[in-house]
Structure 1
Amino acid sequence: MKSAVENLNPTRVRLTVEVPFEELKSNLDAAYKKINQQVTVPGFRKGKIPARVIDQRFGRGAVLEEAVNDALPGLYQSAVEEGELNPLGQPEVDITELKDNELLAFTAEVDVRPKIEIPDYSGIEVTVEAAEVSDEDVDKAVEQLRERFASTSVVERAAAEGDVVKIDLEAKVDGEVLDDGVANGVDYTIGSGELLDGIDDAVTGLEAGATATFTSELKGGSAAGKEAEVKVDVTSVSARELPELDDDFAQLASEFDTLDELREDSRKRLGQSKKYEQATEAQEKVLDELIGLAEIPVPEKLLEDEVNTRKHNLINHQLAQMGIDLAAYLKMQDKSEEDFDAELKEQAEKGIKTQFLLDELVNTEKLNVSQEELTEHLMRRAQSSGMSPDQFAQAVVEGGQVPMLVGEVARGKALAVVVEAATVKDSNGEVVDLDDEDETAETVAADAEASDDTEVASAEAEADKPEGDKPETDKA
């Protein structure tokens, strides 16, 4: 077999392959055997029909077609290995010449990983927010905890801001009550903004047994995005009472004996949270700078597939669960569909570039993933998915996603290498020392990458399928 590689552009190649006919002998034998099992010819036992009879009765062309289809995946894979290519997805194959007992020639066009030169990233410098915790931050955290321990008691007066009202709701659109527009016994805190726009003004000043109507744009359900006439019946009004901020409250709401100890613990927790946010911000900005320094071509087909998959997932999973369609979502976001598509394409392109670049860094820096690192990453992913580690691990193994997780960890380590070499300062001009940057780098790298269904790893897995799993090629 002879093969040659032609670079059509930085991300696509054309393979030209010529195969002497003698190399197809095993495929021809297999084709005759397969046809033998599928057909019957009077005078011959099933499976014992001579090749010349098959040629006469069914045509040599049928045999050649079966043999070529059987041979092409292996021939293509051999040409890929000979050309030292990293294909993405399935090839477009065209048989250019088929001479019986002489020659098979075909071309295969396929997207490939581009060759990327890692830029000098030692000079990257970014600025992040200072991880400072103010007294106001502590006050807010303690007040939120205090809100959780508030008690309520029914009062015989008009409702005011901060009160909890128990209400029944009925929404109409075009004069018709919606099937999903009725809700009874809803507890609502006036001023919380957790229900429909306009409800605070409608219920403020009402006593138990009173009714009001108002108009509001529905945020979810079958009529999401439409104006509705909403009737609200107040069945009770309750005042909220907050506990005193003293040592008794600290003992009630925490494991601490004094309010000062509770406040100090809140300050510590807020500091840790801000440090994590600071590390995440630093890694996101360093990644953006790194991508900006590198020349990273993106295969058009891969980008198109990624955009389509992201859009499909949003519409059919996230928005479907919310009970709204894309038009309603865009209205809520105050975006045109053109702006939305452009934003989606930009995100998808960044995701693909991130994976290309960090994978190249993994190879350049010769970074490996240990079993301990993989286990820790699996535990974090399980926690974020809401599954137990055992359930998540089983799903990963059954779905063949272990290489994907290994890739996530490796790319996180690659990003951490770049962040370590970069200069990170806070808004006060102080150099930031980032702790546990591998863990946050994994999160940043994974968030920036392509979506699960069409990420580059999936495209490569598709290209690496066993021969029997590959689709049939087009024939000339």
Structure 2
Amino acid sequence: MKSAVETLNPTRVRLTVEVPFEELKDSLDAAYKKINQQVTVKGFRKGKIPARVIDQRFGRGAVLEEAVNDALPKFYTEAINEAELNPLGQPEVDITELKDGETLNFTAEVDIRPTIEIPDYSGIEVTVDAVEVSDEDVEKSVEQLRERFASTSPVERAAEDGDVVTIDLQAKVDGEVLEDGVAEGVSYTIGSGELLEGIDDAVKGLEAGGEATFTSELKGGSAEGKEAEVTVKVTQVAARELPALDDDFAQLASEFDTLDELKADSRKRLENMKQYDQATQAQERVLDELLKLAEVPIPEKLLADEIQTRKHNLEHHQLGQMGIDLAKYLEIQGKTEEEFTAETEEQAVKGIKTQFILDELVNKEKLNVNQEELTEHLMRRAASSGMSPDQFAQAVVEGGQVPMLVGEVARGKALAVVVEAAKVTDTNGEVVDLEDDEDEVAEAVVAAAEGEPVEAAAEEKTEA
């Protein structure tokens, strides 16, 4: 077999392959055997039909077609390996010449990973937010905890901000009561913004038994998006009572004996959260600087496929879970479809560049992934998917996705290498030490760039 490579552009090549006919022998034998098992000819036992009879009855062309289809993947793979190419996706194959008994010639166009020169990243410098937790931050955190332990008790007075009211609702559109527009015994905290726009003004000032009518756009149901006339009746007003901020509250709401210990723990947790945010910020900014330094050509088809995948995931997974479509999402975001498409393309380009550069860095630095690192990454991915580690691991193995996970961990380690070489300072001019959990944070940042969720890693870190 002879093959030649023509570079069409930095990310696409055309292979021209010439195959001597004798190299089709195994595939021809397999084709005759396959046809033998599929057809019957009077006078011959099944599977024992001579090749000349098959040629006469069904045509030599059918045999050649079967043989070529069987052999092409093998010859294509041999040509790719001989040229030491890294193909992306499936090739476009064109048989240019097929002479029975003489030769098989074909061409194959395919996208390839571009050759990338890793830039000198030792001079990268970035600035990140300083880790600062104020007394006000601690007080706000404790107050949020206090809110969770609030109790309510009925009062005989007009409803006020912060009160919990029990209400009955009835919605009309064009004067008709909606079948799904009636609700009774709904508990609502005034000022929470959890129900309809305008309801706070309607119920404030009403006592138990009071009633009011207001107009609001419905957020769901059969008349979603339409203006409705809503009648709200207050059946009970209850005041929220917050527990006193003292040692008894600390013992009720935590494992600590004193309020001072609870506040100290809150401060530590806030510091951990800000440190994780700081590390994430550093990784993101270093990655952005690295991408600026490197020239990375992007295969057109790969980019188109990535854009389509991101759009599909958003529409059919994320938005589907939220119960809205793309049009509603764009309305909420205040974006046009053109702006959304441009933004998605920009994100896709960044994701592809990130993968190409970091994969090249993995090879250059000879970075390996051990079993412990892979297991820890699998646990984090399982958490973000909502599956148990065992379920996620089984799905990964059955789907042949283990190499993908290994690649994710390796790219995280590659980014950590770049960050370690960079100069990271905070807004106070202090040098930032990012050694703790650096690989873990880098994995999350790489996942974000490549379009994967990062929530699970952040949640794990802040709960530590």
TM over 0.5: yes
Unpaired segments of 5 or more residues in structure 2? 454-464
Provide the rounded CA distance (Å) in 2 between the counterparts of 1:124 and 1:361: 16
**Structure 1 segment 74-85 matched on structure 2, within 5 A:** 74-85=74-85
Secondary structure of the equivalent of 2:250?
A: helix
Which residue of structure 1 lines up, in the alignment, with residue 287 of structure 2?
287
Between 1:280-289 and 1:324-333, the stretch displaced more is 324-333
CA distance in 2, matches of 1:311, 1:401: 22
Query: Structure 1's 352 and 213: CA in aligned 2 closer, same or farther, altered over 3 A?
Result: farther
How far does the alpha carbon of each residue in 1:368-388 deviate from its partner, in whole angstroms, 9 at most, with x for none?
011111112222222333333
Q: How far apart are 1:300 and its partner, in Å?
A: 1.0
The answer to whether the Cα contact below 8 Å between 1:374 and 1:406 also exists between their aligned partners in 2 is: yes
Identify the residue that residue 169 of structure 1 maps to in structure 2. 169
Task: Tell me which residue corresponds to 2:322.
Answer: 322
- 2-side partners of 1:227 and 1:395: how far apart? 46
Q: 2:456 corresponds to which residue?
A: none
| TM-fit CA distance, 1:166 | 1.8
SS in 1 for 2:269: helix
Identity percentage of aligned residues: 82
Residues of 1 paired with 2:274 and 2:163: CA distance? 33
Quick check: 385-394 or 117-126, which moved more? 385-394
Q: Is the 8 A contact 1:156 1:207 kept in 2?
A: yes
Q: Please report the TM-score for the alignment, with normalisation by the length of structure 1.
A: 0.91
1:365, distance to aligned residue in structure 2 (A): 0.7
Going from structure 1 to structure 2, the CA distance change for 1:223 and 1:350 (only over 3 Å counts) comes to farther
Deviations 1:230-254 (A, max 9, x none): 3333222110001111111111111
RMSD of aligned residue pairs (Cα, Å): 1.7
The aligned residue for residue 351 of structure 2 is: 351
Q: Label 1:180 to 1:430 Cα distance change in 2 as closer, same or farther (>3 A).
A: farther
Q: CA deviation at 1:174?
A: 4.6
Could you report, residue by residue, the CA deviation over 1:37-78 in whole angstroms, capped at 9, with x for unpaired residues?
Answer: 222222222222221121112111111111100100111111
Residue identity opposite 1:298 in structure 2: I
CA 1:399–1:266: 2 relative to 1, 3 Å: same
Matched, 1:246 2:246: yes
Farther-moved stretch of structure 1 (217-226 vs 111-120):
217-226
Could you tell me how far apart the structure 1 residues matched to 2:356 and 2:175 are?
55
Task: Give the structure-2-normalised TM-score.
Answer: 0.93
Equivalent residue, structure 2, for 1:474: none
User: 2:177, 2:301 → 1: CA distance?
Assistant: 47
Q: What residue in structure 1 maps to residue 427 of structure 2?
A: 427
Q: 1:110 to 1:176 in 2, by over 3 A?
A: farther
Q: Which has the higher contact order (CA 8 A, sep 6+)?
A: 1
Q: How does 1:306-455 map to 2 (within 5 A)?
A: 306-434=306-434, 435-450=436-451
* Aligned mates of 1:180, 1:395 — CA distance in 2: 40
Q: What are the Cα deviations for residues 386-430 of structure 1, in whole angstroms up to 9, with x where unaligned?
A: 333222222222222211211111111111001111111111111
- What is the aligned partner in structure 2 of residue 455 from structure 1? none
SS at match of 2:64: helix
Secondary structure of the residue aligned to 1:42 is coil
Q: 1:171 to 1:358 in 2, by over 3 A?
A: farther
**Structure 2: distance between partners of 1:222 and 1:316:** 21
Question: What letter is aligned with 1:79?
Answer: A
SS at match of 1:25: helix
In structure 1, the partner of 2:268 is 268
Deviation at 1:225, TM superposition (A): 4.1
Pair 1:230–1:342, CA change in 2 (3 A): farther
What is the CA–CA distance in structure 1 between the aligned matches of 2:218 and 2:10, rounded to whole Å? 49
Residues 169 and 311 of structure 1: CA distance in aligned 2, closer, same or farther (over 3 Å): farther
Equivalent pairs counted in the alignment come to 452
2:462 aligned partner: none
Counterpart of 1:138 in structure 2 is 138
Residues in 2 aligned to 1:223 and 1:288: alpha-carbon distance in whole angstroms: 45
- 1:208–1:234 CA contact under 8 A, matched in 2: yes
Question: Aligned with 2:115: secondary structure?
Answer: coil
What is the CA distance between 1:211 and its match in structure 2?
2.7
Does the 8 Å CA contact 1:224/1:324 hold for their aligned counterparts? Answer: no
* Partner amino acid, structure 1, of 2:442: A
What is the aligned partner in structure 1 of residue 209 from structure 2? 209
- Which one-letter code corresponds to 1:329 in the other structure? Y
1:55 to 1:339, Cα distance in 2 relative to 1, 3 A: same
Partner of 1:469: none
How much does 1:167 deviate? 2.3
CA separation of 1:108 and 1:319: change in aligned 2, threshold 3 A: same
